Chain A
Amino acid sequence: DAGITQSPRHKVTETGTPVTLRCHQTENHRYMYWYRQDPGHGLRLIHYSYGVKDTDKGEVSDGYSVSRSKTEDFLLTLESATSSQTSVYFCAISEPPTGGNGYTFGSGTRLTVV
C-alpha cells in the first residue's frame, strides 16, 4: 500500500482505555477516511476528512472522534474503548476532482478490546 501507512498494525487494549490509531499518507490527497470492517457488515464509514481540520461523521461514528491537523495525518480516537469496537480498522485516501478515482487503502489495524 504505497503512500499510506497505518499504525499500529495490531493492538490489544482494555475496556475503558483511550486508543488512538494513526493514518499517514505521502500522496498529498485531500480526502481521508476511516472504515471499520466486521464479518457480515463489510466496511462501514466511521469518519472522513475533506481537508485540514475539516471532518465529518460517517454511519458508525458514535464512540469515535478524529483529528486532522496536517494533510498527511488522520487520527482516529476511541475515547473509552468497548468490546464492540473490536474490529479491523482501515484508512483510505482519495483525490478529487471526481468521486470516480477510487480509494487507496492502508493495510489495516487489528484492534482487540478485552
Chain B
Amino acid sequence: AQSVTQLDSQVPVFEEAPVELRCNYSSSVSVYLFWYVQYPNQGLQLLLKYLSGSTLVKGINGFEAEFNKSQTSFHLRKPSVHISDTAEYFCAVSEGSGTYKYIFGTGTRLKVLA
C-alpha cells in the first residue's frame, strides 16, 4: 500500500533564508506527486505537481520540487522565503492514472521568522 511520510512536523526559518520541506513516499507502481499549501483557516491549494517528464517541477509562489525515484522522495524547496509563506504544507501521492484517491502526509508547518 502506498504511504507518504513528512518527517518534519514543524520547520522554523528566518525570512529570506532557503527552506526544504521533506516528503518521502512508498509505492510499488508509478505515482503522481503533489504539494498543497494551507493558509490559516483556509482550504488546501495546489502548489505544484509531478506527473511525468522533468524531475524538477516549478510551482506557484517561487516553490519548486524535485522528484527522485531512486530515493522515493519529492522534497519541496524555496530559495528565499517570505513571512507570507507561513502555512502548513502537505505532500500527497496518487498511484498513477487509474485512481483518483490521494494519500496525504501529516503535514509540515512552516513558520517564517522576521
Contact = CB atoms under 8 A, between A and B. Distances in A.
Given A42-B106, A99-B94, A90 B44 contact: yes
**B-side interface size class:** 20 to 34
A105 B94 contact: no
Interface string B92-114: 00111111111011110000000
Contacts, number: 62
B42 to A, nearest CB: 6
Interface stretch (A13-21, A43-51, A64-72, A79-87): A43-51
A36 to B, nearest CB: 11
A80 B87 CA distance: 33
Interface of B: 6, 9, 32, 34, 36, 42-46, 49, 51, 90, 94-102, 104-107
Interface of A: 1, 31, 33, 35, 40-45, 48, 50, 58, 90, 92, 94, 96-100, 102-108
Given A99-B97, A100-B32, 9 more contacts: A42-B107, A45-B101, A99-B102, A100-B94, A103-B44, A103-B46, A105-B36, A105-B45, A106-B43
